């Protein structure tokens, strides 16, 4: 089952976002993410949060009200509900916004999900963000921008299907060398002998 979580960050192109949804997706609105769900005329399976940022009247098949004094974000709470419901794939939308702390925390949820062997993708109109360890393949089109962002030192990095080839290179954590590579085929592959990081496919619109 794929769960789709709507957080409260920016969504500007609802037509594009709606094109990504499937009829059997399990929809979870995390607090103010309900505003996005409402604009898309979706009826969520679960609404979860402390509701401190919800401006609209909300409704869902199941409503989970959290205490304002909690130890995790509404988005992380939504992720945990998705896992409890049996999701083996999670798409997180509306998770990038003006709050850098929330954006970073949402991106790092991909590490937790990877460790739990859950296929996870954080996406907005401009970016597709995935966590990887050892090896990852990404589909796209020729000319797509791919960035390899080390979250630790990435040792022995090899790439295939990218213009700037890496053949056993080291990408040090805290450096920008992996930013803005270009796909030369409809798929690309990144391998690392050790370390982990993020793969970001970006598009300008």
Q: For residue range 1-19, what is the model confidence (pLDDT) as tens digits?
A: 999 999 999 999 999 999 9
Q: What architecture is the 2-125 domain classified under in CATH?
A: 3-Layer(aba) Sandwich (3.40)
Please return the burial class of 52, using the count of CB atoms within 10 Å of its CB with bins 0-12, 13-18 and 19+: exposed
What share of residues in the chain are helix, strand, coil (percent, to 5)?
Answer: 20, 40, 40
Stated pTM of the model: 0.92
- The model's pLDDT over 56-114, given as tens digits with 9 standing for 90+, comes to 667 789 999 888 878 899 999 999 999 999 999 999 999 999 999 999 999 999 999 99
- The number of residues in the chain equals 205
Domain ranges (residues) in the chain:
2-125, 130-202
Strand partners, 123: 93, 128
Q: Which fold has domain 130-202?
A: Jelly Rolls (2.60.120)
Residues near 71 by Cβ (< 8 Å), separated by ≥ 6? none
């Amino acid at each position: 089952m794929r769960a789709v979580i709507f957080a409260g960050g920016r969504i500007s192109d609802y037509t594009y976002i709606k094109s990504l949804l499937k009829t059997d997706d399990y929809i979870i609105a995390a607090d103010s993410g309900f505003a996005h769900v409402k604009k898309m005329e979706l009826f969520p399976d679960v609404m979860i949060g402390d509701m401190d940022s919800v401006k609209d009247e909300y409704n869902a098949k199941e409503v989970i009200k959290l205490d304002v004094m909690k130890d995790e974000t509404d988005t992380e709470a939504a992720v945990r509900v998705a896992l409890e419901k049996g999701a083996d794939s999670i798409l997180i939308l509306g998770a990038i916004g003006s709050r850098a702390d929330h954006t970073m925390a949402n991106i790092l949820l991909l590490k937790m999900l990877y460790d739990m062997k859950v296929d996870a993708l954080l996406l907005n109109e401009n970016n597709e963000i995935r966590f990887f360890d050892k090896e990852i393949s990404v589909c796209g089109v020729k000319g797509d921008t791919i960035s390899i962002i080390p979250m630790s030192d990435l040792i022995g990095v090899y790439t295939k299907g990218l213009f700037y080839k890496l053949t056993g290179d080291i990408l040090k954590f805290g450096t920008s060398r992996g930013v803005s590579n270009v796909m030369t085929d409809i798929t690309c592959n990144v391998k690392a002998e050790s370390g982990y990081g993020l793969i970001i496919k970006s598009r300008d619109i």
